[in-house]
Structure formats: C-alpha cells, structure tokens
Amino acid sequence: MSRGSGVEVAVIGYGDAHTPSTRFRFLMLRELLAEQGVRLSVCYASQVKARDASVMRLLSDSDVIVNQKALLSRRWLTRLKSLDKPIVFDLDDAVWTRPGKPYGWLTSRRVARRLSGWARSADCVTTASEYLAQRMIGFGARKTRVVPMALDDADPTPSATRPARTDRIRVGWLGAPGNLPGLISLSTTLRSVMRARPEAELAVFCGERPELDCEFDWVEYRKGGDKAFAASLDIGLLPLPDDEYSLGKSPIKALLYMRGGAAVIGNFVGASNDICGGGRGLAAHGPGEWEAGLLELIDDESARRTIAEKGRCFVQRAHQARAVARSMSQLYRELATRRALPG
C-alpha cells in the first residue's frame, strides 16, 4: 500500500450474506468504510474451502485479510500466512463452544487448538466485547481490539420512531425461533405478571409463534421489522441460557431495545453485561427477580425511563455505525501501512 492510497480488505465471512453477524459486523459498514478509503470485499469460508479461484485471487490481492470466526484448519492458516498479508481474526461470540450441549472432549480439544492457532497468528484479534477480548488473550492473542456491534446510522432517532402510545405498557421480546426457549422459560413468570398488571401487554416478534401460558400479541417476522417492533416497546426482555456460550454473546436485540427507547431487563452475563451493565439494564437472575423486576418497571415510570435513557445514550455513543467504521478503518490502515514499510 502506498502512502495516501486506499486499503483493500478481504473478509472471509461467516455463513453467508444473510447471516446476521456478518451483516452487522461487515456488510452494513461497506459504504462508510469506502468513504474512508477502505474497500471491503467479502467472500465466505465455504468458498475458501472449495478453493474458488476468484476468492484466492481476492485474498492474494488484498492488503489485509480478515477471518470472521471461521475455524479453518491449520493447513488453511498456513496457506493464508504464506500470502504475507496482515491477518485479523474477528469474533462476536464464544466460538470455542456452542449453544446448548457442550462439545465432547475430543471436539473441544480440536476447536481450542484451531482457535489458539488463529489467535497466536493474527496480527490483531477484534472482538465485539471486552469479555471476548480477555478470553482471546487466554488463547494466545498478541493484540486485541474491541470493535462493538454496529447499528445503522441511517435509522431515525427513537423519539422520531416511537409509535403513538396506548394506555398499556408494552413488554416485548424479539428474536429468531432458535432462541425461543429463553422466552418460553419465562412463561410462568410472564403469566403471573400479566395477571397482576392488566395495564401491561406482552408482544413477541418472531418467525414462529411461541407457546406461552398467557395472552400476547404475536408480530410475525418480516425483514427490517425488528427496528419498528423494538421502538414500540416500553420494556425489552433479554432472557439468556445459563451456559458458557451465552457468556460470549453480544445480543443485537439488547441494542435494538435500547435504541428504540425501551428499558431492558435480563439475566446479563459475560459480554451482555458489557452492554447492559452500569445501570443500562435491570438485572434479573431467577424467577423471583424476574417477576419483581418486571413489576418494578411496569409500576415505576421514572425508573423505566432512567434505564431506557442510559441505554439509548450508550448505543448512540458506542454502537453507531459511523463510529465503528472509523475504528475499523484506523486499524486496517495501521496494519496495512506497517506491513508495507520496508525492512
């Protein structure tokens, strides 16, 4: 890279163009990065494994290679290192484990070995949270940098998007069908709260209608509808499984709740506490705390608004796309310039 020229960054994306983490981590930042002279090209791990000729040329011609949490084999790591490009390993969740049942001993050992190889070889490991950064140091990362999940700057501010209110306090959850067990685990608590507080209503935004023990408004998933749904809420639910995988999650739904102006309540652990701690959410661990916390937020408008405002300000400060793109651009330029210097 010559001084003053643009930087070519090749990203090995996770999944495909519809995978939420790839969209929020990279695809939505393309135009903002281009404004700062960083051209982002995205391919996918499946194409790398298939030795797609155009993908291999893309990687070879880039100034920086970013691997988004693909635990490619040691052979592929060696091959990419041979291109003599700065390598960034990026992750937004606990890739050393998985949701639900943990890996068996042999698989866990293989995954840890591959992750350690990428952590030690990368010029920088970028993570969505400080929690993940500290864990990656444990896997041998020499340099880490926190790059938060980004939200689109083009969206209007919450004050402009919140719909006209009814007299009822709207409690809600949004998420994919695969995450419904967390919501369903609250079914008994939600039934008790909704019966005790008829001025409240429950709403769910999801591609599948859940089985709950109380009345609720089901808003069927539609692309882009999550933002408007989040802006309709007074209280956002963030139930997380009690497992190691959840410790590494930086839930987008929490950020959407906050930007929409809702007060978040959840069993914050690990990375989610980086987002919702510090008074930006109300912690609830166990059925008793969930019920007491929901009743408090429904009854106390001042407490609800205080939490919501802290969350909204935090999102505006730390998670707006333009600020995240600026941080990424600076890192990629540093790495490309350092590698280009003679000697």
Centroid of chain to Cα 275: 10
Centroid of chain to Cα 83: 30
Taking only the tens place, the pLDDT of each residue in 224-273 is: 899 999 999 999 999 998 888 889 988 889 999 999 999 999 999 889 99
Residues of the chain with pLDDT under 70: 1-4, 153-166, 339-343
**Distances, alpha carbon 330 to alpha carbons 14, 137, 333, 340, in Å:** 23, 22, 5, 15
Q: Which SS3 state, helix, strand or coil, does residue 305 take?
A: helix
Structure tokens at 198: 């008829």
Short-list 292, 323, 8, 266, CA closest to 150: 323
Structure tokens at 153: 């700057």
H or E, element range at 59? helix 53-61
Short-list 92, 146, 136, 133, CA closest to 115: 136
pLDDT of residue 165: 54
CA distance 143 to 133: 9
pTM: 0.87
Where are the alpha helices (H) located in the chain, listed in sequence order? 20-25, 30-35, 45-49, 53-61, 74-81, 105-121, 130-138, 158-161, 180-184, 187-196, 225-231, 244-247, 252-260, 271-276, 287-299, 301-318, 321-340
Q: Which SS3 state, helix, strand or coil, does residue 90 take?
A: strand
Whose tokens are 């691997």? That residue is 67
CA distance 166 to 163: 9
Short-list 277, 267, 240, 221, CA closest to 99: 240
Short-list 4, 32, 26, 182, CA closest to 92: 26
DSSP secondary structure string, 187-239? HHHHHHHHHH-TTEEEEEEESS----SS--EEEE--TTHHHHHHHT-SEEEE-
- Residues present in the chain in total: 343
The crossing angle, in degrees rounded to 10, of helices 287-299 and 301-318 is: 100
Centroid of chain to Cα 88: 18
pLDDT of residue 104: 92
pLDDT of residue 93: 92
> Do 143 and 164 meet the contact criterion of CB atoms below 8 Å apart?
no
Taking only the tens place, the pLDDT of each residue in 106-129 is: 999 999 999 999 999 999 999 999
For the chain, list the domains and their CATH numbers.
Answer: 7-151+320-340 (3.40.50.2000), 158-319 (3.40.50.2000)
Structure tokens at 5: 């020229």
pLDDT of residue 160: 42
